[in-house]
Amino acid sequence: MFVDTSYVLLWTLFPLIAVVYFSFLRHKKCCNRDKKVLPPGDMGLPFIGETMEFFNAQRRNQLFEEFVEPRIQKHGKIFKTRIMGSPTVVVNGAEANKFILSNEFKLVKSSWPSSSVQLMGSDCIMEKDSDKHRYLRGVIGTTLGYAGLEVLVPKICSSVRFYLATNWKGQEKVSLYHSTKVLTFSIVFECLLGINVEPGMLDTFERVLEGVFSPAVEFPGSKFWRAKKARVEIEKMLIKVVRKKRKEMEEKLLSKENGMLLSRLVHGMIQGEISEKEVIDNVVLLVFAAHDTTSIAIAMTFKMLAQNPDCYKKLLQEHVDILNNKKCGENLTIEDTKNMNYTWQVARESMRLFPPIFGSFRKAITDIEYEGLTIPRGWKVLWTTYGTHYNEQYFKDPMSFKPSRFEETIQPYAYVPFGGGPRLCAGYQLAKLNILIFVHYVVTQYDWFLLHPEEPITMDPLPFPSLGMPIRISSKYT
């Protein structure tokens, strides 16, 4: 019988071919399983990526509306992009905020632009992790604990009252935003740190702040160059202050128990727990963290009150009730601030609609797996406040101003103007007191209205009212 040898060969080789074929399939499946799935999104042009789109939207204070939201629509709540030279994953939503913020030090670490690190100082709290971070949080936390706050309240009251008496009394028109900036600056320096504000200090600090998010290019005349020069001036001034304080403390003229944050930091220095540079970098950082954030929060609270007369009426009544229980000229106490529940709801709602901080950057310190996607090690992660604050899922009718929504429990990590996790704002309590006390004295002493109700809010990189929010004022007592 004729036997086709090719058939014989085929039947002999068949099991071998089958084994090779199935092994190939298995290998392919394994590889696919190991292959990491990056989040969807466009990386834009080589190197610059989508930086221009990001900055243009930011300048118009439309970062969420023009940059983030269209990409959420196209790619979903977690998308990749490339900004400022770094591949970046933008995450939105309470679950994603929680995942990223609570995994600080484990999966991610805080990641500030080079210009911010150079100007704030490489030894400031935002650059620290583990023990040093815990130590600095402890020092700030003790100063802002209940006993510390009790002492702070009358000091803040005196600062606000003095400021209004010397700068608003007899005036018809003032810049609300400028006032809040001057006040928050002196409150951080004098009430929290215990350092006297000297003439010109605010301007020098403002020059540093102007460069904090500008490109770290040091050519004469550039923002960053000016900021670096201002930082040197500040350093010289702070070195003198810190050494004087150290001498006083070593000679037992002053104890760390005077409650002031600078004394506590200098005490740590004497004990060898922190260096002089760490003290100085953290003083600069605290001013940066407190200044523009609290100022814009107060300004937007007033803007919302002007636009919502019913809310203003209710808030005013809260303060009149508190005032009626005080003797003439008596300062507020911490207990009085606890009776400002509605005012705090108004301020919180203003910060929900206009969060002073858009969000912030982290860096993945390992490959991160989240919802079936991989954020590769070394990539940046940007979490946002707007991603939850403007989302119907967390806040019903999100674009309406409704302070009473804070009577209900809010899902954790949905309301995040102060961030969350181990890096939750360390000055939250001070910011709250600053806002409540300022509102109290203004609304009980003055009638006021906005001169430009439609004034645009710009961003550079924090939001601010473009005209300084001028208001017409008239004293209630003349």
Binding region for ligand HEM (CB under 6 A): 110, 125-126, 137, 188, 192, 286, 289-290, 293-294, 297, 356-357, 360, 417-419, 423, 425-427, 430-431
User: How many residues are given for the chain?
Assistant: 478
Compute the least distance from the CB of residue 221 to ligand HEM, in Å: 31
Q: Which is nearer to ligand HEM, 139 or 227 (CB)?
A: 139
Rounded to whole angstroms, the Cα distance separating 284 from 316 reads 36
Within 10 angstroms of residue 296's Cβ, the number of other Cβ atoms is 27
Name, in order, each residue with C-beta under 8 angstroms of 229's C-beta and a sequence gap of 6 or more: 207
What the block records as the tokens of 280 is 């100085």
Residue 100 backbone zone (phi > 0: left; psi -120 to 50: alpha; other: beta):
alpha
Rounded to whole angstroms, the Cα distance separating 451 from 176 reads 11
Q: Which is nearer to ligand HEM, 256 or 291 (CB)?
A: 291
Q: Which is nearer to ligand HEM, 183 or 242 (CB)?
A: 183
Q: Which is nearer to ligand HEM, 414 or 473 (CB)?
A: 414
Q: Which is nearer to ligand HEM, 152 or 473 (CB)?
A: 152
Q: Which is nearer to ligand HEM, 97 or 473 (CB)?
A: 97
Q: Which is nearer to ligand HEM, 72 or 297 (CB)?
A: 297
Nearest residue to ligand HEM, scored by beta-carbon proximity = 427
Compute the least distance from the CB of residue 181 to ligand HEM, in Å: 13
Name, in order, each residue with C-beta under 8 angstroms of 138's C-beta and a sequence gap of 6 or more: none
160 contacts 438 by C-beta, under 8 angstroms = yes
Nearest to 130 by CA among 423, 426, 425, 428: 423
Binding site annotation covers 191? no
Compute the least distance from the CB of residue 134 to ligand HEM, in Å: 9
Rounded to whole angstroms, the Cα distance separating 429 from 40 reads 39
Name, in order, each residue with C-beta under 8 angstroms of 170's C-beta and a sequence gap of 6 or more: none
Exposure string over 198-232, b if 16+ CB within 10 A, otherwise e: eeebbebbebbbbbbbbebeeeeeebbebbbbbbe
Name, in order, each residue with C-beta under 8 angstroms of 222's C-beta and a sequence gap of 6 or more: 214
Compute the least distance from the CB of residue 309 to ligand HEM, in Å: 24
Parallel/antiparallel/unpaired status of strands 368-370 and 373-375: antiparallel
470 contacts 173 by C-beta, under 8 angstroms = yes
Q: Where are the alpha helices (DSSP H) in 35-113?
A: 51-59, 69-75, 94-102
Parallel/antiparallel/unpaired status of strands 470-475 and 359-364: unpaired
Rounded to whole angstroms, the Cα distance separating 40 from 62 reads 22
Compute the least distance from the CB of residue 389 to ligand HEM, in Å: 12
Rounded to whole angstroms, the Cα distance separating 311 from 322 reads 17
Rounded to whole angstroms, the Cα distance separating 358 from 461 reads 9
Compute the least distance from the CB of residue 258 to ligand HEM, in Å: 17
Compute the least distance from the CB of residue 68 to ligand HEM, in Å: 16
Compute the least distance from the CB of residue 66 to ligand HEM, in Å: 22
Q: Which is nearer to ligand HEM, 182 or 451 (CB)?
A: 182
Which amino acid, residue 399?
M
How deeply is 192 buried, as exposed, middle or buried, from its count of CB atoms within 10 A (0-12, 13-18, 19+)?
buried
Q: Which is nearer to ligand HEM, 394 or 473 (CB)?
A: 394
Q: Which is nearer to ligand HEM, 125 or 174 (CB)?
A: 125
Compute the least distance from the CB of residue 49 to ligand HEM, in Å: 22
Compute the least distance from the CB of residue 344 to ligand HEM, in Å: 12
Residues flagged as binding site = 425
Residues flagged as binding site for heme = 425
